Amino acid sequence: MELRHFPPGGGMPAITGRDARPLEGVEEKELFGAAFPDDGEGMRLAARGSEPGDAVRILRWEAVLELARRALSVPRRRLEPFRSAADVFERYRFLLSDSPVEVFVAVLLDVKHRPLREERVSAGILDGSLIHPREVFAAAVRERAAAVLLLHNHPSGDPAPSGQDREVTRRLRSAGGILGIPVVDHVILGDAAFFSFREEGDW
C-alpha cells in the first residue's frame, strides 16, 4: 500500500513497500528535515506515529537510514596528527565538556601520531587504583597502536593537575616504556584551558 501522508513542506516522494531505497535521490537538507523535525509536535509524531505503520514514522526512519548509508559510503580519511596539546584540546574539549564526572580516555595513535580510536578507561572520580595499565594498553596492543595519548577532564573547569594525576601519569608512562608503546602526553581538559604534562615540563 502506498503511503502519501507526509509532514508539510513537500519535496519528499511517496514510499511504497517495493522501494529498497525510496529516498535515494532526496537532498540531505530534506532528509534532515524529515528525520529530525524541528517542532516539538512533529518530533513526537515522528517518533511515535499515530498508529502502527504510520507514514510519518516510516518516512522518518527511511530518512535516517538513507543518511546513515551516505555517511558510511564516504571514503574514510585519516585524521591529522596531533602537533601540540592545543590540537588535543580543540579536538576533544567538547567531547567531555558536559560530563559531571572525570572521564579518562586513552587515544590510540599510529606512527605519525594520528588518532586510530579512543578507548574510555574509566568514568567517575579519578582513582589511581582504577586506572590500571592493563585497561589502557590492552586496546593499544590489540589495535597495534604505535603510541598512546592520555586525556581526562576536570569537571571543576580548572585543569591544574592533582597529585593523583601525577601518579597516574608516572605509572602509565612507565608501563608504556616497558611495552614499547610510549605515552606521548597526558592532557587535562578544563572549561577554557588545558594542562599538558609534556609541554609544562612535568614529564
Asked if 78 and 117 count as a contact pair (C-beta separation under 8 A), the reply is: no
Per-residue pLDDT at 52 exceeds 60? no
Residues ≥6 apart with Cβ < 8 Å to 201: none
Q: What is the pLDDT of residues 164-196, one digit of tens each?
A: 999 999 999 999 999 999 999 999 999 889 999
140-167 confidence digits (pLDDT tens):
999 999 999 999 999 999 999 999 999 9
CATH for the 85-196 domain, from 3.30.1130.10, 3.90.650.10, 3.40.30.10, 3.40.140.10: 3.40.140.10
Instruction: Give the per-residue pLDDT at 22.
Output: 64
Cβ pair 161, 188 in contact under 8 A: yes
Q: Does residue 6 or residue 81 have the better pLDDT? A: 81
* Amino acid sitting at position 162: S
CB-based contact 33:48 (threshold 8 Å): no
Q: Annotate 49-97 with DSSP letters as a single string.
A: -SSTT-HHHHHHHHHHHHHHHHHHHSPP-PPPPP-SHHHHHHHHHHHHT
Q: Which three cell numbers stand for residue 2?
A: 502506498
Domain boundaries, given as residue ranges, for the chain:
1-76, 85-196
Task: List Cβ neighbours of 132 (8 Å cut-off, separation of 6 or more).
Answer: none
Q: Which residues contact 103 (CB under 8 A, 6 or more apart)?
A: 96, 120, 122, 123, 152, 153
Can you tell me the distance from the alpha carbon of 197 to that of 169, in angstroms, rounded to the nearest whole number?
A: 8
Q: What percent of the chain has pLDDT over 70?
A: 66
**What does the pLDDT look like over 20-38, one tens digit per residue?**
556 666 776 666 666 665 5
Residue 15: is its pLDDT beyond 80? no
Task: Count the Cβ atoms, other than its own, within 10 Å of residue 131.
Answer: 22
pTM of the model: 0.62
